[in-house]
Structure 1
């Protein structure tokens, strides 16, 4: 067994896929399912299989093991992902430090996710505000709708009266 295979197996035995996903995404996995951290969605399509140590998203089709998840989520190479997991979970297996390039990539990925979350939050707030305004206008239309009939009758009556007055003069 090569050193890399040994390290991979050691990490897989000590860290579960659920721990990795929850650690890096701040999402809670309930009964093996959560919203996918790799794309924006409203329904939970991200599935985790603890026994196999794998994940799969039915929404975007992403899938793999803990290393693939860290690579995809943080934008790292395989070697950097192994070192990152080792460091973050204090396993002390690899003893390698993460490169500056990898740290910058992680910061950029984290910044991008923060911007996406903020945009999503703002869009939800705007959507809720527009819904409230729509409900207000809709209620006004419903309240005022009976008066349109009366208004039309009054306009018709006024026109008739004007024509009668013109006829008499």
Structure 2
């Protein structure tokens, strides 16, 4: 008796031209909505940040407007960690708060600390964090909005 496990559950369906056009139109609409959302975020004073909660809080996404602190979004993908820009004497506090809230089952937290600009200036920020969890309650992602709490005004 011969068994074939490679193709045991493969079902193929050929899409009609109308079905394919419908799928492509839905993808186009989703992409356009994503571009609008990206524009709203990048033209606001807020920084959107997503980190991996299950590993080392590595950056998965950071919005382009991190540039207000002198950095580029791509700097956080391979070159540096978000913690690198937190005021050195506050890094441990931020890390411990995140770890404790992830462990305790928190859903939302707010942290206040200082970010070091690329030029070395410390600027106070507030981070509003949503801890996304799986069905078992394990933390998956930290999704944040970060904003400067003290702004300079010029008249």
Regarding TM over 0.5, the answer is no
Structure with the greater relative contact order (CA < 8 A, sep ≥ 6): 1 or 2? 2
Between Structure 1 and Structure 2, the one with more helix by share is: 1
TM-score w.r.t. length of structure 2: 0.28
Q: Whose radius of gyration is greater, 1 or 2?
A: 1
TM-score w.r.t. length of structure 1: 0.27
